Structures are given as C-alpha cells and as structure tokens.
Amino acid sequence: MRENRYARFGISKADILLPKEGIDLEKWAVVACDQYTSEKEYWKKVEEFVADEPSTLHLILPECYLEESDKERRIENINSMMEYYLHSGIFHEWKDSFILVKRTMDGKVRYGLMAALDLECYDYGKDSKSLVRATEGTILSRIPPRMEIRRNATLELPHIVVLISDEKRSVIEPLSQLKNKKIYETELMMDGGHLEGYLVNDEGEDIIYSALEKLYENLDQKNPLLYAMGDGNHSLATAKALWEETKRGLSAKEKEGNPMRYALVEIENIYDDGITFEPIHRVFFNESKEHFAGMLGRKFKSTWIEKVDSREELQRRINEGGNVRMGLADGNGMYVLELTGGDKTDSAKIVQDFIDSEKPEVDYIHGLDATLKLSKEGKNLGIIMPDVSKDTFFSTIIRDGSFPRKTFSIGESNEKRYYMEARLIVNALYK
C-alpha cells in the first residue's frame, strides 16, 4: 500500500481510469443517473445519441429504470460491459493522481478536484460528528437497491460531489494557475457545457496538502466537519454500507489496502463563484392545492394562497418575508402559499413531514422548468421550494445536523456532474 500523506484529511490520490485517445468523449460522458427521474424521454434521447459507441451510459442504471421489471437484466449487462471495457483496452490509467476538473457552462466556470475519499471518515447518521458528513437525511431503504448495482461491479463511476468551506480559495483554485497537463477536453451532450481535466503536478499536490492542513487545524476537533455532501448522498452511503459489509473479518493491513474503503469523488469549494445552490422541488401526483394547503393550515396559525402571473414573481415572493413560503403550480397557474407560525427555513421540513404522514405519490425534481412542466399535466401539483443559502450551509450542519432530505441541489439537472473518470474497486484487479 502506498504511503498516503493526506490520510488525516480523509482523502487519497487515486488510480484513475479515463478513455484513451480516439474515444468520442461527448458520447462517453453522460449526466448523473439520479437526474431526469420522471423524464424517460431524456434518457431515450441519450440512448439515440450514444447508440453502440463506448459510453458511461452502458455502465450506469438511470434511476428512472430502478422500478422496472428488467432491472436485474440491466445490472447484469452493466457488469458485463464493465468487464468488456476493461479487457478491450479502452482505458488509460493515471496512477496515484489527483485530477483538476474545469466545467464551463453559460459563461460560468467551476473547478473540482478528483480524489479518493476515505469511507472510514464518513458517517451518514443525522447526529454524525465525522470528518465527512451527509447534509440531508439519508433514506436507508434507498441503499439496498444501489448496493445491488455496486456489489458485483468492477468499476465505480462517480457523480458524487463533496463540498469544502474554503473562503480563502486556497485548496483548489490555485491549481488552475499551474502548468498542469491537460488530459481530456470535450463538449458535454444535452446542454451540459464544456469539460476539461488536468493532471495535478507535484507543485499542485503540495498546495493541496498545505491548504488542507490549515483548514483541518482550524476545525473544532469535537465536531470536525471538513467535507459536506453536495451531490450523490445515497451513492456515497451505498459505498459506505458496502465497505462496512466488506471489511468484516479483514485484518488491519487488509482494510488499509482494500480499494472498497475509498470512493472516487469530486471535491468542490462552496465559495466557488460557479457553484449555485438550487432548491429541489416536488411534484405530487393526484393532489390538489386546496387539499395540500388545507392539511398544512391545520398545523399553523393561518394560511393563504395568492395567484401570481410569472415565475419571476413566484421566485421573488417565496424568498422574501420571515414566514414559511413556497410556490404551488397546477394546470390553472402558479400560486404563493404562506404559513404563519413558522420560519421560512422550515419549508423543506414542513413539506417532507406532509409527505411522510400523508404519503402522496411524489417525485423530487431538479429544476424549476421541469417542475412547472410536470405540474401542468393531469392532476399534478408542483411544490416550488425557496432558495437555500450557502453562506450558512456548514454552520447549519454543525449546529443542527443534516437538512431534510432533498432540500437542495448544486445547479439544475444539466449542470450536475457528468460521468467521466472511473476507478477499479475489485481487489483482485487492484494494482
């Protein structure tokens, strides 16, 4: 096992697999599998674009198919395709490396650092005080189906994004000023923007170490939050659960060297100007605004609904004032719902309490456009959530624990992480 000088910071360099030159990277990289879960037409378009070319589409299971009857067949095909890609020689392995990722979209640039995250430093429990922490409630029932996919996989392809709170922009941003080797560049399909990857050089590795050391030393060691989940909470929880299962009976040395102990992630700085926090909205199926507002009104001092004429007015109104506010949308228009007797930061918890108690058929939607589109169909009701402040993000987690599930997202669906890098996670193949 290589010596890991970053171990106390909960990360490691990784042996990262990327397609060799000649592979069409625009067809290779597809968006995170937990996007467009109610829009199978999106994934059909991706299938048509990719066809039989090498692509991460053939290595993942879009979550819109998780409940399909052929799920097991799909998983078997994924595992077979991983083996095929590995043995057909399409990958080049960048050993013991960090990769700097640059994503450009609509004039905005954001940077990330690909690294292996130590799952021994991660606890997704609500009251966790671990170095790596969930930021939203983890639904334990969502882990076993994802374990089925990862359990027999030879590769992991991450859409996991973890955040650091680096106001001085000392860890990642300086890397962009170095003469690092560019190892990939591509446009991303389906309006995903532009992606570049750079191999971090020795000077960059020293910068990462020194900057993380300062962040680490400034933590409250009784509650040392260094990494907060941005995206892929249940994917990382799945990797953790499988590692806990795998490590039983292993010696200390075997645990240290086992690749399942780590998960490949993209680390991003919450203060990166290219990062936008987007609320995750809800769509209820076969639900009316009158019933929904009436049920909430029983628990609060008063409630009112007012129709608005534009999405801009809707967003402005639900983000002002001290009371709980959210937007409603159906086939008849858009509305502002206000509840008195609560605080606007409680909006996500209130809606989630309704879901848990009333158990409506619901989907969680990334993006206002998709929410408004779905709300116009049939007897659907869209619930538009207010914005989440990233300025108090880390302090809120330290103080209160995780947010209610599906509270926020980093950007809208087409801004989510696209699969590019891969890593071997089967011990027999680990070099």
Q: What is the mean pLDDT of each run of 10 residues along the chain (431 residues)?
A: 89 98 98 94 98 98 92 95 96 98 96 98 92 89 89 95 97 97 98 98 98 97 95 94 93 92 98 92 96 91 92 94 90 95 78 93 92 95 91 87 84 93 74 37
Q: Angle between the 71-88 and 143-151 helix axes, to the nearest 10 degrees? A: 40
Asked if residue 115 and residue 21 are part of one domain, the reply reads: yes
Distance CA 155, CA 179 (A): 30
Task: Locate all alpha helices (DSSP H) within 247-286, ordered by sequence.
Answer: 252-257
Domain membership flag for residue 2: no
Listed residue (224, 279, 161, 233) closest to 398, CA to CA:
224
Asked if residue 338 and residue 226 are part of one domain, the reply reads: no
Distance CA 186, CA 19 (A): 12
pLDDT score of 431: 37
Asked if residue 85 and residue 61 are part of one domain, the reply reads: yes
Overall domain count for the chain: 2
Asked if residue 48 and residue 119 are part of one domain, the reply reads: yes
Domain membership flag for residue 406: no
Domain membership flag for residue 255: yes
pLDDT score of 239: 96
Q: Where are the beta strands (DSSP E) in 85-204?
A: 91-97, 99-105, 108-118, 122-123, 132-133, 155-156, 161-164, 181-188, 193-199
SS3 (DSSP) at 88 = helix
234: tokens are 């249940």
φ, ψ of residue 264 in degrees (nearest 5): -75, 130
Give bridge partners of residue 14 from the DSSP assignment: 97
pLDDT score of 1: 52
Asked if residue 122 and residue 86 are part of one domain, the reply reads: yes
Domain membership flag for residue 100: yes
Asked if residue 144 and residue 39 are part of one domain, the reply reads: yes
* Alpha-carbon dihedral angle through residues 321, 325, 326, 327, given to the nearest 10 degrees: -70
Q: How far is CA 275 from the centre of its chain?
A: 13
Asked if residue 235 and residue 359 are part of one domain, the reply reads: no
Distance CA 371, CA 384 (A): 8
Asked if residue 293 and residue 198 are part of one domain, the reply reads: no
Domain membership flag for residue 397: no
Q: Show the domain range for 89.
A: 7-275+412-429
Q: How far is CA 33 from the centre of its chain?
A: 10
| CATH (domain of 322) | 3.30.1760
Distance CA 275, CA 305 (A): 32
State how far the alpha carbon of 138 is from the alpha carbons of 64, 133, 281, 339, in Å: 19, 11, 17, 27
DSSP code string of 356-412:
HHH--EEEEEESHHHHHHHHTSTT-EEEEPPP--STTHHHHHHHH-SBPTT-EEES-
Q: Is the dihedral of CA 151, 156, 158, 160 positive or negative?
A: positive
Distance CA 204, CA 178 (A): 7
Strand pairing of 262-269 and 161-164? parallel
pTM (two decimals): 0.85
Domain membership flag for residue 404: no
Asked if residue 359 and residue 250 are part of one domain, the reply reads: no
Asked if residue 154 and residue 207 are part of one domain, the reply reads: yes
Asked if residue 222 and residue 145 are part of one domain, the reply reads: yes
Domain membership flag for residue 393: no
Asked if residue 128 and residue 24 are part of one domain, the reply reads: yes
Give bridge partners of residue 132 from the DSSP assignment: 122, 227
Domain membership flag for residue 194: yes
